Amino acid sequence: MILSWYEQKAVAILLTLLHLGIKDIKLGPTLPAFITPNVLNFLVENYNIAPITTAEEDLKQILG
């Protein structure tokens, strides 16, 4: 799942997805300002969250 940070409600969507146990989420185009390095490390280790890259690279990762 790729989540774009164009609106503040994306934070509520992210929190909902994390509560539901959804993993492998891509965040972008930039990471939200509230994500500190410690928070990012926690999200990466526990939920496999990563920033988006290029469309082609993201599709390769999703489709295998």
Q: Is the pTM of this model over 0.75?
A: no
Q: Tell me the C-alpha distance between 19 and 14, whole Å.
A: 9
Find the helix or strand (DSSP H, E) in which 57 lies. Answer: helix 55-63
What confidence score (pLDDT) does residue 33 get? 75
pLDDT digits (tens, 9 = 90+) for 7-59: 678 788 888 999 999 998 888 877 777 788 898 899 889 999 888 888 899 88
Domain ranges of the chain: 2-63
Residue-by-residue DSSP string for 13-35: HHHHHHHTT----EEESS--TT-
Residue 1: strand, helix, or coil: coil
pLDDT at 2 over 70: no
